[in-house]
Amino acid sequence: MPNLIKLFTGTVITGNVSDKNELCLTDIKGNKVHFEVATQFIKKDNKVSGAVSILRDITERDSIKEALEKEKNNLYFLLNELPGYVSVYSKDLSIVFANKFLKKRFGEIDGKKCHEIFHGFTNCSEEPCNICPVLSVFETGAPLYSQRAQRDSSIYDVYDFPFTDSDDKKLVMEFGIDITEKKLAESKIIELNDTLRLLNKILRHDILNNLMVISANIEMLVTEDREKINKVFEYVQKSVILIYRIKELESLVSTGFELKNYDLKSILKEILKNYTGVKFRVDGNCIVLADDALSSVFDNIVRNAVIHGDTQGMDIKIKSIKDHCEIKFIDYGINIPEEIKNKLFEEGFAFGKNRGTGLGLFIAKKTLERYGGSISVEDNSPKGTTFILKLRKGEAKN
């Protein structure tokens, strides 16, 4: 017990009493045991005649502390390797941890505060930003997202989280993801979409007008060869259909990135009024997440049933199921052969005497997938076809 005796006698000689003395002893099995030692003097006639030390086993506490420190080091190692900047702030906005990404982008970090690093303030005593997300997280304890242009001329998605260190110290951890290239790509896509719309507008307006003029003039030709005239009309009509398909393709690639709430019954009402010779029954309603291309999807399914399936009626059943909406288009026309069902949604696939371009259902499938939805097909008994669409549910307006 030399360590304990040394501590005890030292306390008596020096008169220094502390509750924070720690020592390590070895038990009879050879295991190291950590103790916290508290010492109290024994006095007689106002003279110190001895001291009593109380030992508290803190081995388990130290083991837990050591494990926490190890986990902390593992965490910081992981954060150091992330492909985005990570910084940890104390309440005075000092940076207590910065990963490699942050140091590489913004230089020396030690001893600086966030507004110095990200906004170039040279005086450490300057006030923080007017709306400081870090201070907001300290005040509310709630995570916060923002998008910021930082001093390195890059744009970041920034996430701030409340964070408690292993020493129970309240901190804020910030994670920044460089989205500059993504923003530039989005701008380029918008520019290309504008060009596509212009080209499509020229195609639809000018070429479609030319085809109408050709069609009108052919009717005035005097000829007994009606077969040739009908052939010309057939190809003019195919060209018109192709132009409308290109319009649908434009909606697939050029609509906005943000999905909005759409009322299914309202969309269907606008589409179905164009098919005056067909009897429709619509049952149910739902609000879904989509964009303007959804009406082209619905119109394509209805048009296929009328033109290619030769249906005289259609039931449209809408049902809300948990987090999505199911729409069934049930027609009573010509059945789709079983052997081609798995090809229906392939690009360019067409069949039947009134076959089209083979783009309609392909575009419909791609559009629904962009919404996070799906489309499938099955038989309707005793005749006809059922197309089943699933779309993510939106939020109804109050």
Distance CA 290, CA 370 (A): 9
Distance CA 332, CA 384 (A): 4
Distance CA 18, CA 59 (A): 19
Domain tally for the chain? Answer: 4
Q: Contact, 141 vs 47, CB < 8 A?
A: no
Angle of helix 226-254 relative to helix 208-220, nearest 10 degrees, comes to 170
Identify the domain boundary among 178, 208, 229. 178
| Number of CB atoms found within 10 A of residue 113's CB | 21
Query: 373: which 2 tokens?
Result: 């939805």
Q: Are residues 199 and 144 in the same domain?
A: no
Residues in the chain: 398
Q: Are residues 202 and 167 in the same domain?
A: no
Q: Are residues 311 and 327 in the same domain?
A: yes
Query: 229: which 2 tokens?
Result: 């005239």
Q: Which pLDDT score, from 0 to 100, does residue 11 have?
A: 53
Q: Are residues 237 and 263 in the same domain?
A: no
Distance CA 26, CA 342 (A): 75
Q: Are residues 338 and 396 in the same domain?
A: yes
Q: Which pLDDT score, from 0 to 100, does residue 258 have?
A: 74
Angle of helix 226-254 relative to helix 360-370, nearest 10 degrees, comes to 10
Q: Are residues 245 and 141 in the same domain?
A: no
Q: Is residue 73 part of a domain?
A: no
Q: Are residues 248 and 262 in the same domain?
A: no
Which residues are CB-neighbours of 240 under 8 A, at least 6 positions away? 208, 211
Identify the domain boundary among 126, 146, 178. 178
Q: Which pLDDT score, from 0 to 100, does residue 357 have?
A: 64
Q: Which domain holds residue 166?
A: 81-178
Q: Is residue 243 part of a domain?
A: yes
Q: Where are the beta strands (DSSP E) in the chain?
A: 21-26, 32-44, 47-57, 85-89, 95-98, 144-149, 155-164, 170-178, 260-263, 279-283, 287-290, 313-321, 324-331, 374-379, 385-392
Distance CA 357, CA 273 (A): 24
* Residue-level pLDDT, tens digit, the chain, 398 residues: 455 555 555 554 555 545 467 777 777 888 887 777 777 777 777 776 666 777 777 777 777 777 767 777 777 788 888 889 999 999 988 898 889 998 888 888 877 888 888 877 765 455 556 678 999 999 999 999 999 888 888 899 999 999 887 678 899 999 999 999 888 888 877 777 776 766 666 666 667 767 777 777 776 665 666 777 777 777 777 777 667 666 665 665 555 557 889 999 999 999 999 888 899 999 999 999 998 889 889 988 998 899 888 899 999 999 999 899 999 999 999 888 888 888 888 887 777 666 666 678 888 898 899 899 999 999 888 889 999 999 999 987 65
Q: Are residues 343 and 269 in the same domain?
A: yes
Distance CA 381, CA 218 (A): 44
Q: Is residue 174 part of a domain?
A: yes
Q: Are residues 225 and 362 in the same domain?
A: no
Query: 157: which 2 tokens?
Result: 């998605």
Q: Is residue 292 part of a domain?
A: yes
Q: Are residues 269 and 393 in the same domain?
A: yes
CATH of the domain at 314: 3.30.565.10
Task: Indicate the burial class of 32 (C-beta count within 10 angstroms; 0-12, 13-18, 19 or more).
Answer: exposed
Q: Which residue has the tokens 């009309």?
A: 233
DSSP string, 162-184: EEE-TT--EEEEEEEEE-HHHHH
Q: Which pLDDT score, from 0 to 100, does residue 204 have?
A: 64
Distance CA 65, CA 225 (A): 98
Q: Are residues 16 and 142 in the same domain?
A: no
Q: Are residues 203 and 308 in the same domain?
A: no
Q: Is residue 69 part of a domain?
A: no
Backbone phi and psi for residue 385, each to the nearest 5 degrees, phi listed first: -140, 150
Distance CA 24, CA 3 (A): 8
CATH of the domain at 106: 3.30.450.20
| Number of CB atoms found within 10 A of residue 172's CB | 25
